[in-house]
């Protein structure tokens, strides 16, 4: 495995490129929030960006495998409170918002001040980014919960492709840290049409959403959920933007194309929530692992890292192409 650190050039940000002898290649861009922006197997790109990388860096759009920290998807509004600490996002500059003006996808989509380290061990390469949250006043102003965040990507060749494993680690400080974080991988196994892609999931429990994509809660504050379902099968005319409660002991989903491409996403048990996303006619599928349901910070239902402790969660993505 060859590892290369590429300085910023021609409008592109600094990149870490990993390539094996077969031509399999992966690219991590720290300035895009430690985003795995590209995985190409024998020249076939298996992640999706909405535009060229240089243009992508000047937007708040998502693509590749972006980190959504400290919340994934939407909040119900700008204000929330956790353990007596009040937060108001109204004055936060450049905050990503959805079409209804709701805060969306956290604070790190284009964060570039990572402490970086990298190395090679056998046939595996890794890159790690760390953020000491209290050292960044703009982050503390938007999310006043001191913690250290560590993201580590490990990449290694496997038969027919590449595995990208990610470890997400939060070390809390003097306060409990509420989190609704997640990831949003845009997985494109081949060049086939949306209808021809084949979805594989475990049994999932759907959560009812309103017309803004926010979970419905009953009079007691509990999520309104449905019976267990298995969404597996051809995408066909289906489109997805749906929240589910995932199995308690971890889960694996996959998307495959008729031309032999397959992407398998395996999450550990610390990701108990899963958003499925694939718009009409999209050639990608998103399996979004989440620590808590959408709007958890707003609803007082966030996953909490107690003061003075460390929380870890991980996942692996296997990209393969059948000859």
Per-position DSSP letters for 97-163, written without gaps between them: B-TTS-BBS-S-TT----EEEEEEETTEEEEEEEEEGGG-HHHHHHS---EEEEEEEEEEEETTEEE
Return the percentage of the chain with pLDDT > 90, whole number: 91
User: What's the pLDDT score for residue 152?
Assistant: 98
pLDDT per position as a tens digit, 266-303: 999 999 999 999 999 999 999 999 999 999 999 999 99
Residues in the chain: 323
Mean pLDDT of 94-98: 96
User: What's the pLDDT score for residue 143?
Assistant: 98
What's the domain range around 263? 2-321
Which of 4-13, 137-146, 176-185, 208-217 is predicted with the least confidence, judged by mean pLDDT?
Answer: 4-13
Q: Are 245 and 205 in contact (CB under 8 A)?
A: yes
pLDDT at residue 1 above 90? no
- What are the CA-CA distances from residue 95 to residues 61, 110, 130, 298 (Å)? 12, 11, 21, 16
CATH number of residue 121's parent domain: 2.70.98.10
User: What's the pLDDT score for residue 75?
Assistant: 98
- How far is the C-alpha of 223 from the C-alpha of 206, rounded, in Å? 10
Phi and psi of 27, rounded to 5°? -135, 125
Mean pLDDT of 84-100: 95
CA-based Rg of the chain, rounded to a whole angstrom? 19
User: What's the pLDDT score for residue 192?
Assistant: 75
pTM, entire model: 0.97
Q: What is the DSSP string of 15-46?
A: EEEEE-TT--EEEEEGGGTSEEEEEEETTEE-
Task: Determine the number of helices (DSSP H) and then strands (DSSP E) in the chain.
Answer: 3, 24
Tokens linked to 300: 């007082």
pLDDT at residue 3 above 90? no
pLDDT at residue 203 above 90? yes
pLDDT at residue 316 above 80? yes
**Total number of domains constituting the chain:** 1
pLDDT at residue 194 above 80? yes
pLDDT at residue 236 above 90? yes
């Amino acid at each position: 495995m060859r590892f290369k650190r590429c300085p910023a050039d021609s409008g592109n940000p600094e990149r870490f490129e990993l390539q094996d002898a077969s031509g399999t290649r992966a690219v991590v861009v720290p300035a895009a929030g430690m985003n795995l922006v590209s995985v190409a197997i024998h020249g076939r790109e298996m992640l999706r960006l909405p535009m060229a990388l240089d243009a992508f860096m000047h937007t708040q759009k998502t693509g590749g495998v972006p980190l959504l920290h400290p919340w994934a998807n939407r909040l119900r509004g700008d204000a929330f409170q956790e353990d007596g600490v009040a937060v108001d996002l109204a004055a936060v500059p450049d905050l990503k918002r959805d079409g209804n003006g709701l805060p969306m996808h956290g604070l790190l989509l284009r964060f570039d001040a990572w402490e970086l380290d990298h190395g090679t061990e056998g046939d595996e390469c890794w890159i790690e980014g760390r953020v000491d949250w209290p050292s960044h006043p703009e982050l503390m102003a938007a999310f006043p919960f001191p913690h250290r965040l560590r993201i580590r990507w490990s990449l290694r060749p496997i038969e027919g492709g590449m595995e990208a494993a990610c470890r997400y680690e939060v070390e809390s400080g003097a306060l409990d840290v509420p989190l609704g974080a997640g990831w949003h991988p845009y997985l494109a196994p081949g060049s086939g049409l949306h209808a021809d892609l084949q979805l594989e999931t475990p049994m999932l429990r759907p959560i009812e959403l309103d017309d803004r994509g926010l979970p419905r809660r009953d009079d007691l504050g509990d999520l309104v959920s449905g019976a267990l379902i298995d969404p597996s099968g051809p995408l066909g005319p289906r489109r997805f933007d749906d929240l589910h409660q995932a199995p308690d002991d971890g889960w694996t989903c996959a998307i495959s194309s008729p031309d032999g491409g397959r992407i398998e996403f395996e999450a550990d048990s610390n990701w108990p929530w899963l958003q499925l996303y694939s718009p009409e006619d999209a050639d990608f599928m998103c399996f979004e692992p989440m620590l808590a349901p959408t709007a958890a910070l707003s609803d007082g239902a966030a996953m909490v890292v107690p003061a003075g402790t460390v929380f870890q969660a991980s996942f692996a993505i296997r990209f393969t192409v059948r000859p």
